[in-house]
Chain A
Amino acid sequence: MPGSVHSQDPQDQSMVDAVDQSQEEELVLDERRILVLPGSSETAASFQFEGEGHTMGNALRYAIMKNPAVEFCGYTIPHPSDAKMHLRIQTIETTTALEALEKGFSDLMDLCDVVTEKFTASRDQFNEENNNKMQS
């Protein structure tokens, strides 16, 4: 595993944040980060998403579980007053947990594109039919 780049020491965190904020104001959003929790290996890792909840957690879990190389995927929000989401991924040897996570994001994004496309088409068709009905 590339390893947890970010230390879990809270003091260390605030130092990083302070630097980020002075650098660029747009970073406010990007301040939320992913950590790899201790005890990870290439094919089995737990990720911590800051500022994320069930919205992303469950959808991501679904997308990752759809990957045949994934043995296990689950998510949890360890404490409701902590805006943190943990995602556990275990894969078979042909891939890594990190790759599976990345594929999950890609698949979810592809899914969004299809939904947008089909939704727009269906709405436009519906509007057209209704306009015709009103005119006739």
Chain B
Amino acid sequence: MAPLVPSQEELQRRRIIGINAETVTNIPSTDFPGHWPGESHGWALDQFKQNFNVEYHRNDRYEASFSLIGLDAAVANAFRRILMNEIPTLAIETVYVHDNTSVIQDEVLAQRLGLIPLTGSVEGINWMRWEQKIPGDDAPEVELTDFNTVVGQLSIECTQNFDAAKDETDARKLYHNAHVYAKHLSFGPVGRQSEFFVDDGAIRPVHPDILIAKLRPGQRIEMELHCVKGIGADHAKFSPVATASYRLLPDINILSPIIGEDAKKFAKCFPKGVIGLEPVTSQEAAKAGSGYQGHAGELKAVVKDAFNDTVSRECLRHEEFNGKVKLGRVRDHFIFNVESTGQFESDTLFLESVKVLKLKCARWKRGLSDLMA
């Protein structure tokens, strides 16, 4: 028996998660074999290939926005989680304090340094090796080499500026190096790193103006910084993204006509541009039972761009729209927003997350042979 094929309307109905004033409906995915009697929902790569789609909205260097359409939440969420937690990046991990006479404590300063986003030759950072950190005191000592550690320096002393005006109150003019910024960090290549981390590819802070500490004359900071690769699951400083999030595409369905003053009020319930006002055509007004009779020329509310809706549900608070509108979200339309901290470009980060998921699968699958034996 050939499997039943649901109608397009039915499929569309299943795609929408209902959003009511106080509740949500139709929440879990139902596209599994055995859920709908007679229908086949088994995994079919061809079908997935056909239905899956990517739409790009924005592709700046460090901020990208795109839609993944035709994916299950489980998979979309895996990508998002991997983006935040499992893509290795370079950050300051160990700080050797030779001298620190500033008012900021060693451990606090080290913590601040760790959070500074670094950038440099992507090729070089990819060439560097990442090893899973083994927690605990009895972890084996890792040998420091050019492919796992970048060495940096922070060496700065605050001195009096004798050229400053007598009545000067600004510390930055009164003293030299009163403020320590990220630009004062310097990273020199060692070993094979000199093939990558030179000139434009040099390891450096993404933002040179991050304030690290404040000094007064006579105070000095002298530190050696060791940067290693790590993942966000270990420490947030290793997370390659500032934000990686998705939302579902909003869906607004106007069930019966909203006309005139009501239409204007309705449009005000949504962000600008989401609801448009259009005059009722004479054709519509002539159609019996359409709800537009005798309203030719008046303004009616139409959905122009549901993408920008925030799904605030404001329109559901007003009595006059009762039963006239249905809000929802499209179950399989994920609008991703990926903002990189600056080490990698946003689009490469997403591709990287897909690669990581695949690698994880491959590794576990290989491990299965153990069980089979």
Interface residues of A (CB under 8 A from B): 2, 5-6, 21, 28-30, 32-34, 36, 49, 52-56, 58-59, 61-63, 65-68, 70-71, 98, 101-102, 105-116, 118-123, 125-127, 130
Q: Is B33 a contact of A109 with CB atoms below 8 Å?
A: no
Report Cα–Cα, A32/B368, bound state, in Å: 12
Q: Is A122 a contact of B371 with CB atoms below 8 Å?
A: no
Known: A28-B131, A116-B354. A68 touches B55 (CB 8 A): no
Chain B residues near A126 (CB, 8 Å)? 56, 59
B5 within 8 A of A: no
B36 within 8 A of A: no
Q: Is B370 a contact of A34 with CB atoms below 8 Å?
A: yes
Report Cα–Cα, A126/B354, bound state, in Å: 20
Known: A112-B358, A116-B354, A116-B355. A34 touches B368 (CB 8 A): yes
B347 within 8 A of A: yes
Q: Is A55 a contact of B32 with CB atoms below 8 Å?
A: no
Report Cα–Cα, A120/B362, bound state, in Å: 22
Within B321-373, which residues are at the interface with A (CB < 8 Å)? 347, 350-351, 354-355, 357-358, 360-365, 367-368, 370-373
- Residues 119-148 of B, flagged 1 when their CB comes within 8 A of A and 0 if not, give 000000000000110100000100000000
Q: Is A106 a contact of B365 with CB atoms below 8 Å?
A: yes
Chain A residues near B194 (CB, 8 Å)? none
Chain B residues near A109 (CB, 8 Å)? 358, 361-362, 365
From B43, B52, B78, give the contact of A67 (CB < 8 A): B43
Chain A residues near B355 (CB, 8 Å)? 112, 116
Within B291-318, which residues are at the interface with A (CB < 8 Å)? none
> Nearest chain B CB to A124's CB is how many angstroms away?
9
Within B10-67, which residues are at the interface with A (CB < 8 Å)? 29, 32-34, 40-43, 45, 48-49, 52-56, 59, 66
Q: Is A114 a contact of B86 with CB atoms below 8 Å?
A: no
Q: Is B54 a contact of A118 with CB atoms below 8 Å?
A: yes
